[in-house]
Amino acid sequence: MSRWGQVLGATAGVLVGAGLLYGTYLTVAPMLFPEGGAAEPAVSASASSSPSPSATVTDGCDWESLTGKQRPAYLKGEPEGLPKARGMTDKTWECVDESWAVEVRSAGGDTWRPGGTAQALYLVAPDGDLVKLFDLRTDVAVVVLESDLDARLAWTARMGEGDSFQVVQVELDSGLVIDAWGGDGVPSLQRDKKDNVISVAPLGPFEAGGTLWAGYTDTSALQSLFVRDDDDQFRTFTAQKALDNLVAEGSVNAQGDDGVEVWTNKSATIAVFLAQHLDDGAKGKASTGAGTWVVVDLVRDQWRLAAASLPSWLCAPAPGTYVPGTYKDPGELQAVCTKGGKERVYRLTVGGDPVEVDAGGP
């Protein structure tokens, strides 16, 4: 399975049955930025996610009422294989609203081939008409994650050879690409040493408003949750400071790397984070048998800490399992735990001791 396929699988695994359909937010066709021929959009040093002052949709244009001659002319001399598309004009933006879509089309269809396949970013009108925004480079595969056409913004994932992927913010009217977007609204676990945002994706509408986003490890395990508000500002939950402190103090995930493990309920309104501690004296990576729970009511943005009683194995949520209970009593959490290449299944509880079981499951 591809790295991006693993991320989609992880997203679906977290929220299946919750009504948060990632297909609404993800255009799976790859998007690539210009390398040869067209110049790559400049990268801003600003970390702000606010739209530019000019990014305002003007009323008064009904695209579907325009005749073919009233619309921008079709482009000529396009690379072979790219779809027939119109050229973008400033006037066209007056016709664009949230009924339009941002998509990538490739001369190779849905198949990205590094270094040779022509790619471009398009606006797709409600009647299917294509308006081309930019030619895109071919050295990285990039996916459109989410867009806000009123603000003329999109967030795209660049897929390369590594296990993680960079996500950038793109100003659709200017082509400006911002690497360090989101400010403090993106958890620190999702930034690399250059402050680039890595391995994040939207999960779907958030019950308290905006869009719930998730951050992943390089093995596609969920490790962070944050929100894009309706005004395109990103924010973390108030529990994030406590989580950051736990990681800074040495907490690890199931791979023994700096981080935490996360369970959510099916509606993604409750999250339970587990910060584990490594036993430095053990052969291989193993838990001390102690750690910290951070239980979060995502909708109310409330959280609490509890001491964790754990097996001497490093644990991760069992696939396809959820928080069955409430914020006050999360219930039994299914975990797959490993040590020395061996694997066991446990049921963990906030405030209780681990219980080994024969197999995981809801």
**SS3 category, 223:** strand
* Short-list 189, 199, 126, CA closest to 166: 199
> Over the chain, what is the mean pLDDT?
83
Which residue type sits at 352? G
Q: Which H or E run includes 336?
A: strand 333-339
Q: How far is residue 220's CA from residue 260's CA, in Å, rounded to a whole number?
A: 13
Residue with tokens 């995502």: 298
pLDDT of residue 191: 96
pLDDT of residue 149: 96
- Cα R_g (the chain), whole angstroms: 22
Q: How far is residue 249's CA from residue 349's CA, in Å, rounded to a whole number?
A: 23
Token pair in block for residue 361: 């499951």
Phi, psi of 310 (to 5 degrees): -130, 160
Token pair in block for residue 354: 């681990």
Alpha helices, DSSP H only, in the chain?
A: 3-15, 240-248
Burial classification of residue 223, based on how many CB atoms lie within 10 Å of its CB (0-12 exposed, 13-18 middle, 19 or more buried):
buried
Beta strands of 172-301 (E only): which ranges?
177-178, 197-198, 200-205, 211-216, 222-228, 234-236, 261-264, 270-278, 287-297
The pTM of the full predicted model, rounded to 2 decimals, is 0.82
CB under 8 A, 24+ apart: contacts of 126-131: 126/63, 126/64, 126/99, 126/100, 127/63, 127/64, 129/63, 129/71, 129/86, 130/83, 130/84, 130/85, 130/86, 130/105, 131/72, 131/85, 131/86, 131/87, 131/88, 131/92
pLDDT of residue 108: 72
CB-CB contact of 262 with 318 (8 Å): no
Residues of the chain with pLDDT under 70: 1-60, 110-116, 360-362
